[in-house]
Amino acid sequence: MTLKRRILLELLRKGVVRRKEIVESFGVAKSTLSYAIRDLRQEGKIDVLSERKGRGRPSEIVRLSPKAWKIVGVKIGREAVIGVLMDATLKEIKRTEEKVFHGMRNISGYTMLLERILEELVTKKVAAIGISVSGNVENGVVVDSPMLNINGLDLKEILKKNFSGTVSIMSDVQALSVHESFKYGGDRFLIVNYGLGIGACWCESGKNRVLPIGHIVVDRSGEMCYCGQRGCLETVASDYANLKAFTHGDFTITEFVEYEHERYEDKLLKLWELSKKEPEKVRKIYDKSLDMLSMVIGNLVVLFQPEKVSFYGEGIAGWMVNEVEERVKLNFKRQGVEKVRFHFRGEDDAFEKGAAFKAAVEFLREEVKV
């Protein structure tokens, strides 16, 4: 990799770096670095600023120029397809969203919605597109996604028709793991995505592994899940279970997954609002869900021994993470879990930003002129 690419990657990860730090980190001569910085500055890829501390010659700060290129991050979910156009520093420029209703959760429906998003956001300045999608993803293909009701959706093929730049496609929890590492750091951590579904990702030394915990069987005599198994964690611990308890409803998880917008959205939004603003009113509603979730998370913590566990998702709130942490550390106190840190992450755009960051990294690593 060329020195210029290494500099851009460093700036992408850190935002702002002093010239002296680059010399020390890369082990290059000052004159060599000067040539590279001069070229990148002339190309409009970086900005160089002066910082004065006390007397003497001011030090130079190098930062990535927001105008260097643009990136698009996309989240393909059960309820919506969301696209965000970002500048080179991953600051949002424009956002667009396409709702997904019953009858659209199939290959043709998602293809149509993704193409609309791309048509709205992709311009000549866009260098890369990152996509996060709920399901099992291999080589740009959604091999299987019960939540989205699709099998064999070739996202790379769709993008080829609309875009010739760098493309990065991953599962939604992988995108969250990239975002977590990019924004918060860490070498060994567990990501939990909680809401209408439940997913997890184990991350160690920059590599990640998807853990489909939502479909771990916790009750063999329980309800039939939309995935075809009986008694999955999602049937007793996801927002489906919470909403059913909240409304005393008589509906199945399959009905909930298929008709969330049409039949259940208003009540679900009300439950989410109460859980975040007036949790005491619904704390008992969540008790069983959090107990089941904490048992599964506790076993994962014992198995992997992470430094931290970070929670994302539309259905999670800070107090819920605190409850899970307390229950895990109480029920598994003999397994050495007391030092594990639990975090609530409230970012709504983590999926899109994680996918966009991965796409930007791959763009800089490719042998193309930047």
pLDDT tens, residue by residue, 83-95: 999 999 999 999 9
115 and 50 in one domain? Answer: no
Closest CA to 176 of 165, 167, 158, 189: 189
Question: 225 in a domain, yes or no?
Answer: yes
- Total domains, the chain: 3
50 and 13 in one domain? Answer: yes
The DSSP line for 85-130 is EEETT--EEEEEEEE--TT--SHHHHHHHHHHHHHHH--TTEEEEE
Range of the domain at 315: 186-344
What pLDDT, on the 0 to 100 scale, is given for residue 258? 86
Question: 25 in a domain, yes or no?
Answer: yes
Question: 297 in a domain, yes or no?
Answer: yes
Give the residue from 44, 64, 84 where a domain finishes. Answer: 64
CB atoms within 10 A of CB 15: 11
Distance CA(261)–CA(207), nearest Å, equals 35
CB 253 within 8 A of CB 147: no
Mean pLDDT over 53-80 rounds to: 85
> Where do we find the tokens 């409803």?
249
Distance CA(18)–CA(32), nearest Å, equals 16
Identify the band that residue 51 occupies on the pLDDT scale cut at 50, 70 and 90: low
pTM for the full model? 0.92
**115-152 pLDDT tens trace:** 999 999 998 899 999 999 999 999 999 999 988 999 99
CB 154 within 8 A of CB 113: no
What pLDDT, on the 0 to 100 scale, is given for residue 369? 46
Give the residue from 38, 64, 90 where a domain finishes. Answer: 64
112 and 31 in one domain? Answer: no
Does the structure show a pLDDT above 80 at 266?
yes
Does the structure show a pLDDT above 70 at 167?
yes
236 and 197 in one domain? Answer: yes
CB 356 within 8 A of CB 90: yes
36 and 175 in one domain? Answer: no
Question: 18 in a domain, yes or no?
Answer: yes
355 and 331 in one domain? Answer: no
332 and 283 in one domain? Answer: yes
What pLDDT, on the 0 to 100 scale, is given for residue 268? 95
CATH of the domain at 32: 1.10.10.10
**31-46 pLDDT tens trace:** 898 899 999 999 999 9
Give the residue from 26, 42, 64 where a domain finishes. Answer: 64
Distance CA(354)–CA(173), nearest Å, equals 9
205 and 114 in one domain? Answer: no
Tell me the residue ranges of DSSP E strands in 67-220: 70-76, 80-87, 92-99, 126-133, 136-138, 141-144, 153-154, 166-171, 188-194, 198-204, 207-211
Question: 271 in a domain, yes or no?
Answer: yes
215 and 262 in one domain? Answer: yes
Question: 283 in a domain, yes or no?
Answer: yes
57-61 contacts, C-beta under 8 A, 24 or more apart = 59/18, 59/19, 59/20, 60/18, 60/19, 61/16, 61/17, 61/18, 61/19
CATH of the domain at 225: 3.30.420.40
Question: 125 in a domain, yes or no?
Answer: yes
What pLDDT, on the 0 to 100 scale, is given for residue 348? 85
CA distances 44 to 26, 66, 231, Å, are 22, 9, 56
Identify the band that residue 55 occupies on the pLDDT scale cut at 50, 70 and 90: low
196 and 119 in one domain? Answer: no
330 and 313 in one domain? Answer: yes
pLDDT-wise least confident of 24-28, 210-214, 286-290: 24-28
248 and 116 in one domain? Answer: no
Question: 370 in a domain, yes or no?
Answer: no
